[in-house]
Structure 1
Amino acid sequence: MKNTDLGKALVLIPARLASTRLPGKPLADICGKPMIVQVALRAREAGLGRIVVAVDDRQVYDAVEAAGFEVMMTRDDHQSGSDRIFEALEKVDPNREAEFVINVQGDLPTIEPETILAAMRPLENPQVDIATLTVEITSEEEKTNPHVVKIVGSPLSDTRLRALYFTRATAPYGQGPLYHHIGLYAYRRAALERFVSLSPSVLERRESLEQLRALEDGMRIDAEIVKSVPLGVDTPADLEKARRILAGKSL
């Protein structure tokens, strides 16, 4: 993505307070700041432009606002982060100035800014509707782990795949690399609008993977290949790891 296009990009960070494995997750303290603020700081370091945090709770709203970031209250009954960011998009950009929307998950406090930037690169191709990220799997355990989502893709270059399918199974069959999908998305605005207008699809329900809705509707998703999977904070152990990582960077 050319630098001249960055002003047309809007970074949206969805944050949902409810979490069964880590209650109050967006407000969890990491090096003196709530986790959701740490994510917003990583997004700011990427330099993509305007950042808005989409929340569903007043406590989270106040914490983000106190840190100096733009924040938008959204409904608390959204089924996915995509629905939440679309509500926020319509509210914060009614004049449709943003052409690209980057959805950065609110539980990635240690994500490298370069990783966020990488998610934009496939959109250099005007035929791509949605861009995402992937990394080659090196762990044998991950290859068969249903919690590790795999991309079945057609190689376009050494650093990019065209996604043909997403699955929790070990795929594709045979010799060759397997790729772990990283759930960070960059959308053309029109693609996000189209996506959220669709009903959940057959394969989406079967695999419990909403990105299949886009593929089943004929949308094109390309994935940039990066070097590592960013730490998603879902458990107390993940939280402690994130604290160690960011504490080490501040030394």
Structure 2
Amino acid sequence: MKRAKKNFICVIPAREKSKRFPSKLIKYLDRFPVIFYVVLACAKSKAKNVFVATDSPKIKKEIEKSLQKSKIPKKLKDKIKIKIVKGRKIKSGTDRVAELVKRELKSKSTEIIVNVQGDEPLITPEIINKVAHALAEDKNADIATYGFISQEKNEIENPNRVKIAVSEKGNYALYFSRSPIPYGAKKFIIHTGIYAFREKSLIRFANLKPTENEKTEKLEQLRALDNGMKIKMVIGKKKLLPIDTPQDLQKLKKIIRKNKI
């Protein structure tokens, strides 16, 4: 049997003025800003190129400064490209990713685009590769993403930690919610900020109008489910901690220093 191609790029959407925690992507965890840990993980993955799509010259400057300071091999540095991507129609990170793809990849063949959110500094190259691979292997899926298993009350009851109901057959997402779902479960699956798209699926998604479920939960991935798109789940044990608040930043500083990441 012919194996599916795993030709993919990473795109990191990076908006400076986050409503909940402005400039969080350029806050320092240790030697480097939050977003640079994401850039490094993407560069170390099997992605052929890594794009940062940002609206901010400040973010661009911080990444360039970190690249000069870091000791990563030249072949990894050469994969990284930072682009200023602005526009009135850009309302979300996925919109920014889609806009970059339209501008930069018109004449290039890229099968899969992996959107890695810039506030996920614990993301690993292995998770990125697994999510891209899962989409490449499942021709019925439009999107793939990652979730980890949790029994921790502070994660399950935290509305910033999105929970997922997953099908028993095929491991597809049935629903995403800020509330604990499924009701009565002993273990929950916590969603993380990574999505692999086929190029056509990405453009289709970006052109869809927000749905009522999306507006209610404030979760753009529900737009995909509401329009019949299939989201493949990669479920693992590796916990990720996105930065939504200053308190999250302090927790991550301790984790980064303790583990010497």
Q: Tell me if TM exceeds 0.5.
A: yes
Pairwise CA distance, 1:112: 2.2
Partner of 1:146: 159
**Equivalent position of 1:195 in the other structure:** 205
The answer (yes or no) to whether the contact 2:142–2:198 under 8 Å persists in 1 is yes
Alpha-carbon offset, residue 198 of structure 1: 0.4
Look up the equivalent residue of 1:109 and give its one-letter code. P
- AA in 2 matched with 1:44: A
The aligned counterpart of 1:155 is 168
Distance 1:172 1:196, change over 3 A: same
Determine if the alignment matches structure 1 residue 74 to structure 2 residue 94. no
Counting only pairs closer than 5 Å after superposition, residues 214-233 of structure 1 correspond to structure 2 as 214-233=224-243
What is the aligned partner in structure 2 of residue 212 from structure 1?
222
Please name the residue that 2:18 is paired with: 19
2:114 aligned with 1:102? yes
Is the Cα contact below 8 Å between 2:161 and 2:178 reproduced in 1? yes
**Where do 5+ consecutive residues of structure 2 fail to align?**
68-76
Alpha-carbon separation, structure 2, partners of 1:23 and 1:209: 19
- Which secondary structure state, in structure 1, belongs to the residue aligned with residue 165 of structure 2? strand
Rounded to whole Å, the distance in 2 between the matches of 1:212 and 1:23 is 25
- Deviation of residue 26 (structure 1)? 2.1
Equivalent residue of 1:165, what SS? strand
TM superposition outliers: structure 1 runs of 4+ over 6 Å: none
Greater shift, 200-209 or 15-24, is seen at 15-24
Counterpart check, 1:35 vs 2:34: yes
**More deviation in 83-92 or 160-169?**
160-169
TM-score normalized by the length of structure 1: 0.87
Deviation of 1:174 after TM superposition, in Å, equals 4.4
| 1:127 paired to 2:137 | no
Report the CA distance shift for 1:88/1:65 in structure 2 as closer, same or farther (over 3 A). farther
AA matched with 2:175:
Y
After TM superposition, the structure 1 = structure 2 runs for residues 85-100 of structure 1, keeping only pairs within 5 Å, are 85-100=97-112
Q: Does 1:50 align with 2:63?
A: no
What is the one-letter code of the residue matched to 1:113? P
Matched, 1:171 2:170: no
Shift of 1:62: 2.4
Report SS of the residue matched to 1:205.
Answer: helix
Change (3 A) 1:20 1:10: same
Residue 107 of structure 1 and its aligned partner are, at CA, apart by 1.0
Mark the CA change 1:207 to 1:23 in structure 2 (over 3 Å): closer, same or farther: closer
Cα deviation 1:194-226 (Å, max 9, x = unaligned): 100100012111221111111111111111101
Q: Is the 8 A contact 1:53 1:64 kept in 2?
A: no
What letter corresponds to residue 205 of structure 1 in structure 2?
K
Partner of 1:111: 123
Q: TM-score, normalised by structure 2?
A: 0.84
Write the distance in 1 (CA, Å) between the matches of 2:148 and 2:110: 28
Aligned-pair Cα RMSD in Å: 2.4
Aligned pair in 2 of structure 1 residues 107, 146: CA closer, same or farther (>3 Å)?
Answer: closer
1:93/1:134 Cα in 2 relative to 1: closer, same or farther (>3 Å)?
same
User: Following TM superposition, by how much is the alpha carbon of 1:154 offset from its aligned partner in structure 2, in angstroms?
Assistant: 0.9
